[in-house]
Structures are given as structure tokens and as C-alpha cells.
């Protein structure tokens, strides 16, 4: 088997001025703020609501993890994926006025297609969230979900009323980045 492995952010689509998954999380905070009046005075949420990105990012990794925890957990995987789909349908990058999933790099899509047509099995291994990427990347890059590897929160499986349920918890399972990248 021949394989080709790609990072996503900055390689297959833009990561500037901010990672698109962070743009999703910031938009989710603004949408959820209506039911969380305490966020008006609580950082980092206050800065998100006020569009003060400099202050949000000044809080470093802890600030971003707090935002991601709120916007990426406490729901089933399916509910999360539905929220990502809704956001991708409605959200536009402010700089280009285009949908985020339309901002993939054309030469890289062409490279993926070339490799796939020549019997390469293509993978994404990214620091981005695996559940986020698996919503849109299979269609954008013709890469199956199981070949998309990324950071993840812990999950909890339960069986209620005869139905299986997988909940996204607010704890980091893997951070697929830098020295610990797969």
C-alpha cells in the first residue's frame, strides 16, 4: 500500500487569521451567550462576546481550551456534527466572503486527487478536532472519515431507552499536535 499523509490547517486550507475551528467556537460562544448572562463579565467569554480577539488569544492555550470545552462538549457526537454542519452552511469568512469549506487550497485538492487516482491511500493527521474535520473533509478531500485523525475530547457511551448514545465530554483525550502528533 502507498499512503500519503497531510496536515489540514495551513496545508489543505487556510489557518489565518485564525483556525477555522476556532472561528466556529467563537461563533458558538456568541450564539450561546443569550442563555449565559454570566459570560458578560467572565473571561474569556466576555472578550469573545465583545469581539476582542487580542484579549481572547492573550489568555493562551487555557483560554482557548475553556472556549472549546464549552462549545465542543455536553452533547452527542451527532448533535455536535449537526451544529458544525449548520455553521458551515451559514458562516462566511470575513476576509473573502466565502464559506469556510470553500477556502481549501486548490493545488492541494489537485494533489490529493492525483494521489488518489494513482492508488495512494490519503490521510489527514491534524491538530484540529477530529469530529470537526469529519463533518466536511470527506466531501472536500475525498478522504473517508476513518482516515481523518486529529485531536479529540473524551467520550462517554451509554445505552438509554434501548438507544446507544455517545456524549462528548469536556476533557481532552488527545491533542494531536507538535511532539505528540501521530
Instruction: Give the number of domains in the chain.
Output: 1
What is the reported pTM? 0.90
Helix, strand, coil share of the chain (percent; to 5): 50, 25, 25
Cell of 1: 500500500
Q: For residue range 5-49, list pLDDT tens digits in order.
A: 999 988 999 888 889 999 999 999 999 999 999 999 999 999 999
Say how far apart CA 4 and CA 56 lie, in whole Å.
36
81-104-152-83 Cα dihedral, nearest 10 degrees: -20
Lowest-pLDDT range of 50-59, 94-103, 141-150: 94-103
Per-residue pLDDT at 179 exceeds 90: no
Say how far apart CA 125 and CA 48 lie, in whole Å.
29
Say how far apart CA 26 and CA 49 lie, in whole Å.
8
Per-residue pLDDT at 111 exceeds 70: yes
Summarize the confidence of residues 127-132 as an average pLDDT.
92
Q: What is the mean pLDDT of the chain?
A: 92
Q: How many CA atoms within 13 Å lie on the side-chain side of 166?
A: 8
**Residue 171 pLDDT:** 86
Q: Is the separation of the CB atoms in 17 and 11 below 8 Å? A: no
Per-residue pLDDT at 145 exceeds 70: yes
**Residue 127 pLDDT:** 87
Determine the structural domain holding residue 87 and report its residue range. Answer: 2-180
**Residue 177 pLDDT:** 63
Amino acid at each position: 500500500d502507498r499512503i500519503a499523509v497531510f496536515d489540514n490547517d495551513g496545508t489543505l486550507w487556510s489557518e489565518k487569521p485564525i483556525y477555522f475551528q476556532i472561528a466556529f467556537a467563537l461563533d458558538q460562544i456568541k450564539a450561546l451567550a443569550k442563555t449565559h448572562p454570566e459570560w458578560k463579565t467572565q473571561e474569556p467569554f466576555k472578550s469573545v462576546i465583545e469581539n476582542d480577539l487580542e484579549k481572547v488569544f492573550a489568555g493562551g492555550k487555557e483560554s482557548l481550551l475553556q472556549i472549546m470545552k464549552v462549545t465542543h462538549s455536553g452533547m452527542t457526537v451527532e448533535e455536535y456534527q449537526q451544529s458544525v454542519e449548520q455553521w458551515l452552511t451559514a458562516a462566511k469568512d470575513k476576509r473573502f466572503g466565502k464559506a469556510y469549506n470553500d477556502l481549501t487550497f486548490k493545488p492541494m485538492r489537485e494533489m490529493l486527487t492525483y494521489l488518489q487516482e494513482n492508488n495512494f491511500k490519503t490521510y489527514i493527521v491534524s491538530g484540529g478536532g477530529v469530529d470537526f474535520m469529519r463533518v466536511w473533509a470527506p466531501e472536500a478531500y475525498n478522504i473517508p472519515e476513518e482516515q481523518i485523525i486529529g485531536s479529540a475530547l473524551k467520550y462517554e457511551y451509554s445505552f438509554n431507552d434501548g438507544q446507544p448514545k455517545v456524549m462528548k465530554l469536556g476533557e481532552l483525550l488527545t491533542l494531536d499536535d507538535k511532539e505528540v502528533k501521530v
